[in-house]
Structure 1
Amino acid sequence: MSTPSMPVPPKLNHDPDDRRVNSRRRRWARPAGIVMALILGLSACASPSETGTTATEAVLETGGGPQGDPTRGGEVRIAVTGGGPSTPLDPNSQSYLIDGLVKSAVYDRLTTINPESGAVEMSLATSMTPNDTATEWTIELRPGVLFSDGRPLTSNDVLFTLKRIKDDALADSTMRHVDLERSSSSGPTRLTLVLTKPIADLPAVLAAADTFSIIPDGSKDPATVPPPGTGPYAIANYTPGVQVDLTANKQYREPGKPYLDRLTLVEINDPSAALNALKAGQVDIATRFNFAAVPSLVNDPGIYLRASNVGMAAANYYMNEQLAPFDNPAVRKAMRLAVDRERCVKVALNGYGHVGNDLWGEAHPSYNKDLPQREYNPEEAKKILAEAGVTTPVAVTLYAADYGAGMLECAQVIQQSAKAAGFDVTVKQVSSSELYGPNIFTKVPMGSDYWAGTSFEGGASGAMVQGAPFPEFGMDDKEFDAKFDDARATLDVNERNRKYQALQKELWENGANIVWGFQDVIWGIANRVGGTEAFDLPTNSTEYHGLEDLWVQN
Structure 2
Amino acid sequence: MSHSRSWRIGKVSRVAVALLGTGVLLVGCASNGDDSGTDTTNTSGDVVTGMVNEQPDPGDAVAGGTMTYGVQVLVPSLDPTKTAARGGSGGEAFAAVYDVLMSYDTASGEFEPKLAQSLDTSDDGSTWRLKLRDGVKFSDGSALDANAVIASIDRYNAGKGNGAELWLASVESAQASGPTTVDFKLKTPWMRFPSMLALGHGMIVAPSSQQGDKFTAVGAGPFTEDLFTPSVERIFKANPSYYGGAPKLDKLRMVALNGPQANLESLNSGQLDVAYIRGLTSAINSAKSAGYPGYIDVLNAGSAEIVNNREGRPGSDVRVRQAIGYALDTTLIDQRVENGEGLPGSELFGPTSQWHVDTPGIAYDPEKAKELLNQAKADGYDGTLDYVVLSEPKDHAIGLAVQSLLQAVGFEVNLILANNAGDIVQNVYVKHDFDLAHAGIGMYESILDLGLFSTTNSTSMANTAGYANPAMDQLIADLQQAKDNSSTLAIIGKIQTLWNETVPSAPIGGLTSFWAWQKNVHGVVPTATGIMLFDQAWMGAK
Distance in 2 separating the partners of 1:299 and 1:178: 45
Check if 1:398 corresponds to 2:387.
yes
Distance of aligned partners of 1:399 and 1:248 in 2 relative to their CA distance in 1, 3 Å threshold: same
Matched position secondary structure for 1:466:
coil
* TM-aligned CA deviation for residue 406 of structure 1: 5.0
Distance of aligned partners of 1:483 and 1:141 in 2 relative to their CA distance in 1, 3 Å threshold: same
Matched position secondary structure for 1:183:
strand
1:189-204 pair list within 5 angstroms: 189-194=180-185, 197-198=187-188, 200-201=190-191, 203-204=193-194
User: In the alignment, residue 437 of structure 1 is paired with which amino acid?
Assistant: Q
1:221-236 pair list within 5 angstroms: 221=211, 224-229=215-220, 231-236=221-226
Show structure 1 runs of 5+ residues with no match. Answer: 1-9, 17-24, 29-36
1:524-539 pair list within 5 angstroms: 524-531=516-523, 535-538=525-528
Distance of aligned partners of 1:472 and 1:149 in 2 relative to their CA distance in 1, 3 Å threshold: closer
Match of 1:41 in 2: 32
1:182-234 Cα offsets, whole Å, 9 max, x none, are 53211112122345x436146245146436411234434496421032x3333
Distance in 2 separating the partners of 1:299 and 1:361: 24
Distance of aligned partners of 1:45 and 1:416 in 2 relative to their CA distance in 1, 3 Å threshold: farther
Contact 1:456 1:504 in 2 (8 A): no
Check if 1:93 corresponds to 2:68.
no
Distance of aligned partners of 1:39 and 1:418 in 2 relative to their CA distance in 1, 3 Å threshold: closer
Matched position secondary structure for 1:522:
strand
Which among 296, 304, 315 is matched to residue 308 of structure 1?
296
Distance in 1 separating the partners of 2:352 and 2:43: 20
Distance in 2 separating the partners of 1:12 and 1:345: 47
Match of 1:465 in 2: 457
Distance in 1 separating the partners of 2:441 and 2:332: 21
Check if 1:418 corresponds to 2:396.
no
Match of 2:249 in 1: 260
Match of 2:442 in 1: 452
Match of 1:21 in 2: none
* TM-aligned CA deviation for residue 401 of structure 1: 1.8
User: In the alignment, residue 184 of structure 2 is paired with which amino acid?
Assistant: L
Distance of aligned partners of 1:100 and 1:294 in 2 relative to their CA distance in 1, 3 Å threshold: closer
User: In the alignment, residue 385 of structure 2 is paired with which amino acid?
Assistant: V
TM-score, length of structure 2 as denominator length? 0.78
Distance in 1 separating the partners of 2:396 and 2:109: 29
Match of 2:68 in 1: 77
Contact 2:301 2:347 in 1 (8 A): no
Which among 491, 498, 501 is matched to residue 493 of structure 2?
501
* TM-aligned CA deviation for residue 276 of structure 1: 4.4
Match of 1:7 in 2: none
Distance in 2 separating the partners of 1:199 and 1:408: 44
Check if 1:13 corresponds to 2:22.
no
Distance of aligned partners of 1:142 and 1:298 in 2 relative to their CA distance in 1, 3 Å threshold: closer
Check if 1:139 corresponds to 2:130.
yes
* TM-aligned CA deviation for residue 517 of structure 1: 0.8
Match of 1:174 in 2: 166
User: In the alignment, residue 522 of structure 2 is paired with which amino acid?
Assistant: G
Matched position secondary structure for 1:436:
helix
User: In the alignment, residue 414 of structure 1 is paired with which amino acid?
Assistant: V
User: In the alignment, residue 405 of structure 2 is paired with which amino acid?
Assistant: S
Distance of aligned partners of 1:69 and 1:316 in 2 relative to their CA distance in 1, 3 Å threshold: same
* TM-aligned CA deviation for residue 171 of structure 1: 4.9
Which among 365, 370, 384 is matched to residue 382 of structure 1?
370
1:178-189 pair list within 5 angstroms: 183-189=174-180
Match of 2:423 in 1: 434
User: In the alignment, residue 329 of structure 2 is paired with which amino acid?
Assistant: D
Check if 1:512 corresponds to 2:512.
no
Contact 1:13 1:122 in 2 (8 A): no
Q: Work out the percentage of aligned pairs sharing the same amino acid.
A: 21
* TM-aligned CA deviation for residue 272 of structure 1: 5.5
Distance in 1 separating the partners of 2:289 and 2:503: 46
Contact 1:358 1:515 in 2 (8 A): yes
Distance of aligned partners of 1:118 and 1:424 in 2 relative to their CA distance in 1, 3 Å threshold: farther
Check if 1:476 corresponds to 2:468.
yes
Match of 1:344 in 2: 333
Normalized per residue, the structure richer in strand is: 2
* TM-aligned CA deviation for residue 305 of structure 1: 5.9
User: In the alignment, residue 348 of structure 2 is paired with which amino acid?
Assistant: L
Distance in 2 separating the partners of 1:349 and 1:42: 17
The range that moved more, 338-347 or 169-178, is 169-178
Contact 1:338 1:376 in 2 (8 A): yes
1:432-468 Cα offsets, whole Å, 9 max, x none, are 3232326775443322333334355323321322321
Match of 1:243 in 2: 233
Matched position secondary structure for 1:516:
strand
User: In the alignment, residue 462 of structure 1 is paired with which amino acid?
Assistant: S
Distance in 1 separating the partners of 2:259 and 2:432: 29
Match of 1:33 in 2: none
Distance of aligned partners of 1:477 and 1:452 in 2 relative to their CA distance in 1, 3 Å threshold: closer
Distance of aligned partners of 1:27 and 1:266 in 2 relative to their CA distance in 1, 3 Å threshold: farther
Which among 273, 276, 283 is matched to residue 272 of structure 2?
283
Distance in 2 separating the partners of 1:208 and 1:421: 45
Which among 205, 211, 214 is matched to residue 215 of structure 1?
205
Matched position secondary structure for 2:96:
helix
1:221-256 Cα offsets, whole Å, 9 max, x none, are 496421032x3333344344333333344344446x
Distance in 2 separating the partners of 1:93 and 1:287: 22
Matched position secondary structure for 1:13:
coil
Show structure 2 runs of 5+ residues with no match. Answer: 8-13, 18-26
User: In the alignment, residue 78 of structure 2 is paired with which amino acid?
Assistant: L
The range that moved more, 480-489 or 511-520, is 480-489
Contact 2:349 2:356 in 1 (8 A): no
Matched position secondary structure for 1:40:
coil
Distance of aligned partners of 1:277 and 1:505 in 2 relative to their CA distance in 1, 3 Å threshold: same
Distance in 2 separating the partners of 1:503 and 1:179: 23
Contact 2:68 2:253 in 1 (8 A): yes
Contact 1:531 1:550 in 2 (8 A): yes
Superposition CA RMSD, Å: 4.2
Check if 1:108 corresponds to 2:96.
no
User: In the alignment, residue 233 of structure 2 is paired with which amino acid?
Assistant: Q
Contact 2:69 2:275 in 1 (8 A): yes
Distance in 1 separating the partners of 2:167 and 2:464: 20
Matched position secondary structure for 1:396:
strand
Distance of aligned partners of 1:456 and 1:382 in 2 relative to their CA distance in 1, 3 Å threshold: farther
* TM-aligned CA deviation for residue 69 of structure 1: 1.7
Matched position secondary structure for 2:176:
strand
Matched position secondary structure for 1:265:
strand
1:49-83 Cα offsets, whole Å, 9 max, x none, are 7xxx64889xxxx9486763243113321122344
* TM-aligned CA deviation for residue 371 of structure 1: 0.9
1:115-126 pair list within 5 angstroms: 115-125=106-116, 126=118
Matched position secondary structure for 1:412:
helix
Which among 325, 328, 353 is matched to residue 342 of structure 2?
353
Distance in 2 separating the partners of 1:94 and 1:475: 23
Distance in 2 separating the partners of 1:546 and 1:397: 43
The total of aligned residue pairs comes to: 508
Contact 2:358 2:493 in 1 (8 A): no
1:516-537 Cα offsets, whole Å, 9 max, x none, are 11122234533332345xx324
Distance in 1 separating the partners of 2:342 and 2:236: 34
Contact 2:81 2:200 in 1 (8 A): yes
